[in-house]
Amino acid sequence: MIVPLRNIRDYFSLVKFSHTVFAMPFALIGFSLAVSGPEFSFSVRLLLLVILCMVFARNTAMGFNRLADRKFDALNPRTSRREIPSGTISARAATVFVVLNALLFIVTTGFINRLTLFLSPVALLIIIGYSLTKRITALCHFVLGLGLSLAPIGAYISVTGKFNILPLIYSFIVLSWVSGFDIIYALQDDEFDRLTELHSLPSAAGRKKALVISILVHIASFLLVLTAGLYGKSGVFFWIGASLFTLLLVYQHSIVKHDDISKVTMAFGTTNGIASIIFAVFVILDLFLRN
């Protein structure tokens, strides 16, 4: 049976596949940290397995999030036309999609090494758990950041089978960076969240204070980028990438104000997507050109 192209596009839209650009570049950084040294060699097979793990994990997380939030999405004018509340994809079909991707993720980790297989259920619990935290805490943004922060350390473990400090620093960069821009994204729904008793920093603290918190979290990202560069004894390409990444962090805060959130989409999607890609390209260039 051939699945119509339109249906495939619906599933890509369901999980916002384009947003893979946030974590995937950092997974490639983690992979490159491992294979750029003398101990481990580059493997196309392993790289493809890491990419597949990223795709399956993210599909699981986003699909579950859409399922968990479908009643709220139906009530929110901004999200009411999403695939499940609009009926484009049924809740049953979305459930099958989530379960299938979760199983594919676990199976794929088994082809990598024992540690990734052992840790795969833990990773799934973290990335799925985010979808439920908005019901209990305004710190839900940091749980999302934690989920995406698994990308660099997970990719590194896939190659080496062990932990290391430098990929962990990159994971903390992702945690703070994602948490900061998710606070910005949540500005769109602060009023709706208050009415429906959902939790977020904008709904709990107000837009102005939430933006201040987002700035502070992104300052932490900047300090962690500096730490990664110094600890990794990075070269000029790293610092070029770090400078551009930092400028894009500053830019997104310059275009979003507490009384004007018309450019939230540009700040959230476009700016951060570009920042992630640019940073990864320069970091990876630096790793391979220095070795």
CATH code for the domain in which residue 112 is found: 1.10.357.140
pTM metric for this prediction = 0.93
Nearest-angstrom CA–CA distance, 187 and 180: 12
153 found inside a domain: yes
252 found inside a domain: yes
240 found inside a domain: yes
1 found inside a domain: no
42 found inside a domain: yes
Residues 6+ apart with CB under 8 A from 258: 187, 206, 207, 208, 210, 211
Q: What's the alpha-carbon Rg for the chain, to the nearest Å?
A: 19
* H or E stretch at 80: none
3 found inside a domain: no
- pLDDT tens digits, the chain, 291 residues: what are they? 344 445 778 887 787 766 777 899 999 999 999 999 888 989 999 999 999 999 999 999 999 999 999 999 999 999 999 889 998 899 999 999 999 999 999 999 999 999 999 999 999 999 998 889 999 999 999 999 999 999 999 999 999 999 999 999 999 999 999 999 999 999 999 999 999 999 999 999 999 999 999 999 999 999 999 999 999 999 999 999 999 999 999 999 999 999 899 899 887 778 999 999 999 999 999 999 975
2 found inside a domain: no
105: domain range? 9-289
DSSP H stretches of helix in the chain? 5-14, 24-35, 44-68, 70-75, 83-86, 91-110, 114-133, 140-148, 150-160, 165-185, 190-196, 201-205, 207-231, 236-255, 264-265, 272-289
Q: Would you call 115 exposed, middle or buried from its count of C-beta atoms within 10 A (0-12, 13-18, 19+)? A: middle
Give the three-state DSSP class for 156: helix
How many distinct structural domains can be found in the chain? 1
156 found inside a domain: yes
